[in-house]
Structure formats: C-alpha cells, structure tokens
A and B are shown apart, each in its own frame.
Chain A
Amino acid sequence: MIPELGHFALIIAFVVSLFLFLLPAMGYYLSSQTLMGSASRLAVLQLVFVAVSFACLAAAFLGDDFSVSIVALQSNSQLPMHYKFTALWGGHEGSLLLWVLILAAWTAAVALTGRHLPLPVKALVLATMGAVAIGFLSFMLFTSNPFERLLITTPPDGQDLNPLLQDFGMVIHPPMLYFGYVGFSVAFAFAVAALISGKLDASWARWARPWTNIAWAFLTAGITLGSWWAYYELGWGGWWFWDPVENASFMPWLVGAALVHSLAVTEKRGAFKNWTLLLAIFAFSLSLLGTFLVRSGVLTSVHSFAADPTRGLYILGFLFVVVGGSLTLYALRAPESTFRPVFSKVSRESLLLANNILLVCATLVVLLGTLFPLIMDYLGQGKYSVGPPYFNAMFVPLAGALGLLTGIGMFSQWKSTKGLRALVQSPLVLSIPIGLLLPLVWGEWRAGAALGLFLGVWLILACAFNVRHQTRNALSLLAGLKKLRLSYFGMLCAHIGFACAIIGVTVVSTYSSERDLRLDRGESLELAGYSVLFNGTSTIRGPNYVGTRGDIRLSRGDRHIAELHPEKRRYHARQDQVMTEAGIDAGLMRDVYVALGEPLEGSAWAVRVHYKPMVRWIWLGGALIALGGVLAVMDKRYRLQRTRPNPVEA
C-alpha cells in the first residue's frame, strides 16, 4: 500500500512540475501577475509530494518491505537501521529520488526566500527549475521507477547493502554531493531567466551569488567526505584517484569555484557578464554530465551504477534539451557587445580573470583526460588509460599557479592596485625561507615538497598580513576585526583552507611510507619511528557479519600511543566478500594506518602499516573551504529583508 502511495505521490509531483514550468512561463509572456505568482505555491506543492514519495520509500526500506524491488536489492533485515535508510540511495533509482527531493527543496527555498525578487524574474527562475524537475521526474517514472514491485516473487530477505557502503561516509557523502550538484541549478535558472528577460545587468549576479556560494560549499563538503571515506575504507592509503566519477564531481567544483569568483566581478563591476552567464550554464551542465557518465556505461569506474544504455540515452536526451537549449539561448540572447572595463594587470579584475582562466583550464584538462580513452576507443585508435600520473602532472602546476595568485589577489583592488608590491613583499619574503626549510621536518629535503610547502605557507601568511592590512587603521586588532564583514572572513577561511589542502597534499605525497610484513603474535615492525606490535587476533560478531579482529599496540620508543583494532569481516548476505576495516591512529600531524592481510601459517598474519604525515590537512582544508562558502552566505547583505522589498546593495 505504502509503495503505491509513494508512486502516486511521485506522479502527482510530476504533474505539478509540469504546471510549475508552464504556468509561470505563460504568466511571463502574458504579463499575468496571477500566473506568475502561482510559481511559489506550485514549488512548495512539488516539494510536498516529492517528500511524501521519499517518505514512502523510506518506510519501505525501514520496514523491510522486500516486495519493493530496490529494497530487496539494496537492503537486508539484519542491516542496522541507519544503513537501511541510506540504502535508499545505494542504487540508481533511489539515488534519483534523492536528487529530485533535493531539487524540490532548493526550488521551494528559492520560492520562499525570493520575496525581494521582481515577480517576472522569480517566475522565470522557478519555471526553469520546474523544467529540470520535469526531466528528472519523467526519467524516473518512465525508466527508473523506485517503486517497482516484486509481488509475485517476493524474496524472504534482501541482498544487503554493499559492505563498502555500510559506513558513515555513505550516510552523508551522497546527500552532500547532490546538494551541491542540484544547487548549481539555481544559478543556472537565474542565468536562463536573465537571458530570457533580457535583464542582464548586475542584479542577476547579486541574486545568484548566495545560492551559488552555498551550493559550492556543499559540493566541497561532499567531495572532501568522499576522499576521506575512500582513504579509510579502501585499504591502500589513497585519497583521490582521478577516477571518471570522481572527475565528474570535480569538474563542476572547479567551474563552481570560477563562478563564485566571476559573480563577484559581475556584481561589483558589471564586467565579465557574458562569461559569468556561460559559467553558470556550464556548472550545472557539468553536474548533469556527471549524472550521465555515472549511469550510462560509457566509462569504467568503481563508482558507476549498473550500466543501462537505455537510461543513458534518456539522460543524454535530457542533457541535449537542457544544455543545448540554454546554450542556444545564450548564443541568441547574450549581448554582442558588453561593457569592456578597463583594468590594469595588477587589479582585482585582472587577478580574478587569471583565477577563472586557470580554473577553466584545469576543468578542460580534467575533461580531456577523462574523455580521451573514450574518444580514442571510439575512433578505433586503441584502448588507453589516463590515470593519476597524467592528471597529477597537469593539475599540480595549475593548482600551484592558483595558489601563488590567490595570495596576491587578496591584496588587489578594483581597477588598479597601488603599492601591490609593498603589500605582497613581507609575506612573500617570509614564506620563502620557511617553505624551503620546512620539508626537513619530515625527512630528506625534496624540491617538490619545498615548493608545495612554500606555496601553502605563502598563502597562510598572505592571509595573515591581509588581515593586518584590513585592520591597520583600527584602534585595536579586535576592534578592526569586528568591523570586517562575514563575507571577508568567508574568503579568508576558504583561502586558508586551500593552503591547508596544498600543505597536506604536498607532505603526504612526498613523505608517506609503508611496510608489509609477516608478523607472528608478539612480533613488531618499525616504521617512521613507530613500533607496531601484533598481539594476535580474536573472533568478532556484528549485526550482519562475523569476522576477525586484530590487536595492535602502537608505540613510539617507550611511549605507548594507542591500541588499534583492524578487522576482517565476512557479511552474511554476501558470503564471498571479505571486507577489511583498517585500524587508524588518527592525528592532525599524521595518521598511522594498520590493515590485516591474510592469515599465514600458525598465528601469523600479513600486516600492512602506513605512515601518512599531514593527511588530515587535506580534509581540514576542504572543510575550511566549505565553511568559507557558508560564512560568505551569512553576510548581512543576504539577510532576508522583511520590511524593504528591494534592498539597496552596499
């Protein structure tokens, strides 16, 4: 009964989305206030029905209703409750319902907080988002119905969620990612609305900025979580593989970063207007492209859902309409000649332009590397693999250039910067020797490490000196800080996050080490000054698995540091799959990571130990970047105006 209700709610949501697209659009062309005004109510209605549908599916999962086919595939009666819930988005159909729920939520959010928007603009924005919803809802209803039933052959129990996904990371990583991807549809909708209405002044940028910032912050969090999760779950110490699906999330992130900066220029100076419109279209297009790549079967990836070419073609068609349509709109309606501002090479515009160019180049490089094997295979030129060696070689210099320019950019002013050299001198001069000497902390001096550490330290010092510069006229540091706006702190936070990530990546790539050794009970191995003592194993029972748990004592010299318990688990529902859970002693400055390999003769086991210095700085950096985005949105200029319908921009 409940699945039917959920299915029915989904159909109604689809009908509502049709109205959400048609009525405000008609209202715009007929200049009808009523029709345009209906958009908000329809957006909320859409959310209500999608939420009901989602709740019904959740009830099916939580209630072990194995007559619903995806529950039978993804879940199991012995699965802990929270994983039963997350199993909802473990497969293709359920993840689409999550997508649509989040889309409906963003649409309703725009409807409810957009009171200051002129009605025609609001109508067009919501109509566009409705159009996107139509695409996804129809995709679900016609090809990927989550409420498909197995009424005749209802299995007694489910096949269980893939053990790799039975983890906290699964609870939070996909929703965060989807919040980001879907959030870009708001900027997209604003761009489309601007193109249709011809209102291409800076106001669309002002309206789109907070939405873009927060979507990008979520995407940052999602990617960071994914990296962290892969690290502790997969067992070989990697945290980013340039896998096609990872790239599919990274490309919108890079374009989103460019967009966040480009919107600032368009809002503040009215410049780069066409470019910002294009970026807004690109960011969402890349989100949709990612959806296509993951589900189409054209690329090989550990992350991809089951390949179904029919679904792939449907998504491609959708992509064609949305992206092709918006790009056609852009080609026809974007102004041919825009305001060409004049700015010097040492101006904020110039540095933000460089930022955009570097980020877009990086995006195109990642796209090239991801699609190259596909293109070559299609042209019959053979099967190539493009992996981390290529991407790292291309991306690292670009990121380095970006790091260097970010520090300079913070001191720049619009049109031209007086005395830029003087401002930049002190942090630069300080960071050179620190950067050059810092590698020695971790071991043998390496030029790559020195360069990376220099960039990280440079960026942090540039931030510190920038704060000093901003507060130089205040009575005290505290008084000066109080006067600074949240958007400034957001920028600072994000840039410091970038620096932390650079430092983390540099150190962990250069100075990690590992050892694999056969250890008998009572034996220990040495790595990076640590002593890892293997004390044997014991059997363990979990809610849906049995396994072996190792007893490891970690110490440094005489000092006992931690007890670690790596495990090997065999899940009941998947007898052939053995999972490794690593035992990690996590620290801000280093991780020590222990995994069990195979049992050898007697009580001996193969044990792997990794030493990973500064690895957590990567995710700390990501978290700070996401936080920066959130802080920027909390700035008081974006506070909801209850009294004044059209706030004047400060």
Chain B
Amino acid sequence: MNAIVKSLALSLCLTLTFGAISAHAVVETYQFRSEADQRRYRALIEELRCPKCQNQNLAGSDAPIAQDLRREVYRLINSGSSDQEILQYMLERYGDFVLYRPRFTLETLALWLGPVVLVLIGMGIWWRLSRTTRETDAPASLNDEERRALNKVLESPGE
C-alpha cells in the first residue's frame, strides 16, 4: 500500500513538473530601436537560462521569472548596455547557472579544451594507423656503402 502511495506521489510530482512547462508561448511585444537591437535581444534570451525551469532558455519559458528576466534584458538593451554587460548583470545575480555558454575560466578549462585535446588525439591515432608498407617496414633505400656491398655480391662470380 505504501509503495502505491509513494509512486502515486512521485507521479503527481511528474504531473506537476510537466505542468510547469506548458507550451504557453507568452508573447511580449517589445519594440526595439533598431533591427540590430532586436537581433541582440533574440540572441541573448536564447543564451540565458531560466533559473527556475527544467532546462529551458528565457526564449522558451513562460515562467514568471523568465518573463521578468526577458523584461530586464529588454530594459538593459534599451538603456545601452552591451551584450557582455547584460550577461555580467545576470551572472552577478544568478551565478554561472544562468549562462548556457560557460565562461572560459580555470574551472571550465577541461570543458573548453577537452574537445580540442580529443580531436588532436584522434588525429594522431588516424595518422599512425593509416600508414602504407613503404612508410613503415621497408627501409627507405640503400645507402652508398650498402649499394657497394650489393654490387660486390652481384658481380662476384658464382660458386
């Protein structure tokens, strides 16, 4: 009986969780001073994470906090802040969590350089494995001394 109640409760959480991400598509009709500003807004709300949602960016979420943050981004763009400044603003208040593009710091070195290292290793493996016989087993060619020795053997009369 307990197991049933427990699984029911957990499944209720699932329902409520899913409920929070209804495809509600709140549409804000912000007007921008220029096309470029509008593009910046679009790009920024896709780079910023909704702090309360189940992995959604500001563009895709209807949560009240997401609406507030979109308004904030709009306000900051209109007041002349640069993209960097806006991201910094959000970082100061919500932490690294809210940036979908992690900053390049000592802590994230493994994240940003890891792929590069992997690809270099991969290229190395490819280089080593795709060799032809000529490049590996056989010696390059005879040097002068070897050639003289060979000629001597070839020219010496048979036994």
Give the B-binding residues of A (Cβ under 8 A): 69-70, 73, 91-92, 144, 148-150, 159, 162-164, 233-236, 238, 241, 243-244, 300-302, 304-308, 342-345, 347, 349-350, 353-354, 357-358, 360-361, 364-365, 368-369, 372, 376, 381-390, 393-394, 398, 416, 514, 516-518, 574, 576-580, 582, 595-598, 606-608
Contact = CB atoms under 8 A, between A and B. Distances in A.
A244 B55 CA distance: 9
B64 interface: no
B130 to A, nearest CB: 4
A306 B96 CA distance: 26
Contacts of B57: 241, 387-388
Given A234-B60, A365-B115, 17 more contacts: A70-B11, A92-B14, A150-B4, A302-B53, A350-B130, A361-B122, A372-B111, A382-B96, A383-B95, A385-B98, A387-B100, A389-B100, A514-B42, A578-B22, A598-B26, A606-B27, A608-B25
Contact of A162 (B19, B98, B131): B19
A388 B17 contact: no
Interface in B88-127: 95-102, 107-108, 110-111, 114-115, 118-119, 122-123, 125-126
A503 to B, nearest CB: 22
A172 B63 CA distance: 29
A112 B38 CA distance: 60
Nearest to A383: B97
Contacts of A350: 126, 129-130
A164 B18 contact: yes
B102 A390 contact: yes
A361 B118 contact: yes
B131 A388 contact: no
Contact of B111 (A364, A369, A389, A574): A369
B133 A578 contact: no
Given A300-B54, A306-B10, A385-B100, A574 B27 contact: no
Contacts of A577: 19, 22
Nearest to B107: A381
8 contacts: A148-B4, A235-B25, A302-B54, A306-B17, A350-B126, A361-B122, A372-B108, A579-B22
Interface of B: 3-4, 7-8, 10-15, 17-19, 21-30, 42, 46-47, 49, 53-57, 59-60, 95-102, 107-108, 110-111, 114-115, 118-119, 122-123, 125-126, 129-133, 136
Nearest to A388: B100
Contacts of A354: 126
Which of A159, A243, A342 neighbours the largest number of chain B CB atoms within 10 Å of its CB? A342
Contact of A608 (B19, B21, B27): B27
Contacts, number: 189
B23 A390 contact: no
A383 to B, nearest CB: 4
A353 B118 contact: no
Nearest to A580: B25
Nearest to B31: A517
A386 B30 CA distance: 28
A306 B15 CA distance: 8
Contacts of B123: 357
Which of A387, A388, A582 neighbours the largest number of chain B CB atoms within 10 Å of its CB? A387
B95 A579 contact: no
Contacts of A576: 19
Nearest to A354: B126
A360 B13 contact: no
Contacts of A369: 111
A164 B20 CA distance: 11
B95 A162 contact: no
A353 B129 contact: yes
B96 A162 contact: no
Contacts of A606: 27-29
Contact of B130 (A150, A307, A344, A368): A344
A394 B118 CA distance: 11
Contacts of B98: 385
Contacts of B42: 514
A577 B3 CA distance: 29
A365 to B, nearest CB: 5
Contacts of B97: 383-385
Contacts of B60: 234-236, 238, 241
B118 A163 contact: no
Nearest to B13: A306
Contacts of B55: 241, 243-244, 300-302
A9 to B, nearest CB: 21
Contacts of A344: 130, 132
Contacts of B24: 235, 578-580
B22 A517 contact: no
User: Nearest 5 CB-CB pairs, A to B?
Assistant: A597-B27, A387-B100, A235-B25, A389-B101, A306-B14
B148 to A, nearest CB: 31
A244 B59 CA distance: 18
B34 to A, nearest CB: 14
Contacts of A517: 29
Contacts of A607: 27
A306 B27 contact: no
A163 B24 CA distance: 11
A368 B111 contact: yes
Contacts of B102: 372, 384-386, 390
A312 to B, nearest CB: 12
B7 A162 contact: no
A244 B122 CA distance: 25
Contacts of B4: 69, 148-150
A595 B25 CA distance: 8
B118 to A, nearest CB: 5
B130 A349 contact: yes
A573 to B, nearest CB: 10
Nearest to A310: B6
Contacts of B21: 164, 302
Contacts of A164: 18, 21-23
Contacts of B119: 361, 398
A116 B97 CA distance: 55
A236 B25 contact: yes
Contacts of B18: 162, 164, 302
B46 A388 contact: yes
Given A516-B29, A574-B19, A357 B126 contact: yes
A357 B122 contact: yes
Contacts of B23: 164, 233-235, 579-580
Contacts of A241: 55, 57, 60
Given A164-B22, A244-B55, A382 B111 contact: no
Nearest to B28: A516
A382 to B, nearest CB: 6
A12 B9 CA distance: 29
A364 B133 contact: no
A163 B46 CA distance: 25
Contacts of B132: 342-345, 416
A353 B15 CA distance: 46
